[in-house]
Structure 1
């Protein structure tokens, strides 16, 4: 990976339970993780590298957090996978110009979205 100035390079989230959060993203999205001690894990194979640090906080759009939006070709299958692996749907599938999306929280409470142009 070559680094480019002035571009987003990395994103970090708080996570109350790193083990459950890692399992969720591995099982639903196929992300890979590297632990750096008991309180931090980095992820890749996600489109943008980042990490989770142990903390009793979470990112929510209702409190002004940025929303990370993932892409998936099969929105319905992705929604079912999220639910079956411990995620919660907080905004059901809706249409917008260019596609459809939904919002969910992962087991540590961080809100993300998934969209599709299909």
Structure 2
């Protein structure tokens, strides 16, 4: 897929990891995805940008802030918005809530953290000037995301209303899966997976997907660093998928076409 040279709006635009061990996370994901890093320093809480071999921003890793030791280790999926205040109003109006209100990140943009009606946490990002991921669909870059939830119909309608999208139902035997598309037409921007009895005890959540060039090599690197394989390889029309958990507890998926 092409490089991303303009902010992504009304769709997922960025992934970042909040981790209890930044050093270990950098070693794992650096070898897995071929990333290099730029640490933002203490003034930005050591928020660490990750770049591919071409110098394109792909994601970020950050240590948990003081007092957040008991918070889960997670990847957060951020939605791009042209007006973060208007998006917050829509989120609340359509049954969501705010965990972190909009804040300015000097020299980069504005962010917020929200909760959808089913309980899944997601982020908002307004570029100023940083737009988010600068490449998609290549090794080490974001390639998909989906929200796993108990009430797929309600949650799909929520995201469609907040971000001006259309809901499509996919024909997937044994799985209730919806995709969200621009109202003007075009490819899906994300998925909405209906959780069933097999997901008992797992709370609703967003799942980030990264592309890898070689699934078997990725599995080897993952195991080398102590990561857990949760499910897979899962065959899909778009490639083989592995659902994994890193040693600090964060879940993600990687896939190879």
TM-based fold match above 0.5: yes
In the alignment, what sits opposite 2:59?
49
Q: Which string of whole-angstrom CA distances, capped at 9 and with x for unpartnered residues, describes residues 25-51 of structure 1?
A: 112221122222265322222763333
- Structure 2 stretches lacking a partner, 5+ long: 76-147, 149-201
Structure 2 partner of 1:93: 233
Query: What is the Cα deviation at residue 82 of structure 1?
Result: 0.8
Do the aligned partners of residues 47 and 101 (structure 1) sit closer, same or farther apart at CA in structure 2, a change above 3 Å counting?
farther
Specify the alignment match of 1:103 in structure 2.
Answer: 243
Does the aligned pair in 2 maintain the 1:104–1:111 contact within 8 Å?
Answer: yes
Higher RCO (CA 8 Å, separation ≥ 6 residues) = 1
1:33 alignment partner, one of 29, 33, 37:
37
Structure 1: 5+ residue stretches without partners: none
Map 1:60-79 to 2 at 5 A: 62-79=202-219
Indicate if the aligned counterparts of 2:212 and 2:218 stay in contact, CA closer than 8 A: yes
Query: C-alpha separation between the residues in 2 aligned to 1:98 and 1:51?
Result: 27
TM-score w.r.t. structure 2 length?
0.40
Work out which of the two has the higher radius of gyration on C-alpha atoms and give 1 or 2: 2
- Conserved 8 A contact 2:30-2:36: yes
TM-score (norm 1): 0.78
Q: Distance in 2 between matches of 1:65 and 1:39?
A: 25
Contact 1:28 1:85 in 2 (8 A): no
Map of 2:160 onto structure 1: none
Deviation at 1:5, TM superposition (A): 5.5
SS of alignment partner, residue 63 of structure 1: coil
- Number of paired residues? 117
Q: Which runs of 4+ in 1 moved over 6 A?
A: none
